[in-house]
Amino acid sequence: MATSRSLLAAVLLAASWVVPAVAVETIPRLPSGKPDFSGIWQTTSPADYDLEPHAGRRDAPPGAGVVEGGTIPYRPDALAQRKRNFDRRDALDPRLKCWALGVPRNVYYPEPFQIFQRDRDVTLLHQFGHQVRTIYTNGTLHPLDQEQGFFLGDSRGKWEGDTLVVDVNDFIDLTWLDRAGNFHSDKLHVVERWKYLDANTIEYRATLEDPEVYSRPWNITVNLFRNRDKNAQIIEDYCFTLEYEQSYPPKKD
C-alpha cells in the first residue's frame, strides 16, 4: 500500500511539471494605477439599428437587442411618439442631418472612436462628425445651471475600483437613441459604467432614466473592442460636407 501511495505521488508530481503556467492578463493602467482606456474602440453590436430585439427589415439586420428585459419601458404617450418616429425614421433620424449622435448612442454607433485619457479627464473623439466629448475625472461637479442643454450632455466621472462611473445630464431633446426612433427628452439622465473584461475588451453599461418618457430607469450593455489593425486611425467623416465634396472640384465648361 505504501508503495502504491508513493507511486501515485510521483505520478501527480510529474504531471504538475507538464501543466503549462497560465499567465494572468493585465489591463493597461495609467501611472496612477487607474485603468487606461486609451485606444481606438468600436462595437460589433447592431444596437444602433434598434436597441430592442427585432427581426430583419429593409433598413436593418436582425438583432437580439441590448436592453435588459427586452423592451424600453415607455410611458403610453411616449410610446405613441416612438411609433411616429419609427414610421418616419428614413427622414427624421437626426443622424441623417449629421447632428451629433448624443449619449449613449455615439458609443455603440458602428464607427470607431478614440479615447485619450489622463488622470483629470477622459476625452472621446468620434469618427462620425468628429464629435468630441470630455468626461471630467478631477472631482468637479456638474454646473449648478443645468438648463443650457448639450447634444452630449455634461459628463462627470469617478472610479469605483477599476470601473469608471460617469454621470451625464443637461441634455437637449434633439437626439435619438438609435435608427428605430427610440428617443428621450431634455430630462434624460444617464449613468455609464466602463470596465475592462480583458486588455482589449471594454464592457459598457448605461442606465437611462427620463421621467417624461420612461416609466422607470432601464439598462443597456454592449461590448467595445480595441482596434488593433496596423493602420488604425480615426478618419475624417464630416457627412454635412458631402454635398460640397461631391461637387468639388467644379466642372470646367
Query: Binning pLDDT at 50, 70 and 90, where does residue 17 land?
Result: very low
Q: Name the β-bridge partners of 237.
A: 128
Contact 39, 114 (CB under 8 A): yes
Quick: pLDDT tens for 198-250: 999 999 999 999 999 999 999 999 999 999 999 999 998 877 555 544 544 55
pLDDT band of 145, cuts 50, 70, 90: confident
Mean pLDDT, the chain, integer: 89
Residue 8's pLDDT is: 47
Q: What pLDDT score was predicted for residue 240? A: 59
pLDDT of 23 strictly over 70? no
Q: How high is the pLDDT of residue 132?
A: 96
Range 234-241 contact pairs with CB under 8 angstroms and sequence separation of 24 or more: 234/40, 234/112, 234/113, 234/114, 234/125, 234/126, 234/127, 234/130, 235/127, 236/130, 237/111, 237/127, 237/128, 237/129, 237/130, 238/98, 238/129, 238/130, 239/98, 239/128, 239/129, 240/97, 240/98, 240/129
- Cα-based distances in Å from 177 to 51, 95, 174, 196, 200: 8, 10, 10, 24, 26
pLDDT at residue 52 is higher than 70: yes
pLDDT at position 243, please?
57
Pick from 78-82, 111-115, 147-151, 173-177: least confident: 147-151
**Mean pLDDT of the region 6-27:** 51
User: Is pLDDT above 60 for 22?
Assistant: no
Could you tell me how far CA 247 lies from the centroid of its own chain?
A: 35
**Confidence check: pLDDT of 128 > 70:** yes
Q: What pLDDT is stored for residue 236 in this prediction? A: 84
Better-scored residue on pLDDT, 1 or 136:
136
3-state secondary structure of 7: helix
Does position 146 have pLDDT exceeding 80, yes or no?
no
> How far lies 236's CA from each of 127, 129, 239, in Å?
6, 8, 9
Is the dihedral angle over the CA atoms 213, 177, 96, 53 positive or is it negative?
negative
Tell me: the pLDDT tens digits for 154-171? 999 999 999 999 999 999
In tens, the pLDDT along 71-104 reads 999 999 999 999 999 999 999 999 999 899 999 9
Angle at CA 238, nearest 5°, toward 232 and 242? 120
Q: Which residues contact 74 (CB under 8 A, 6 or more apart)?
A: 82, 213, 214, 215
Can you tell me which residue has the cell 455603440? 108
58: DSSP letter: T
Q: Domains of the chain: which residue ranges?
A: 39-246
pTM of this structure: 0.85
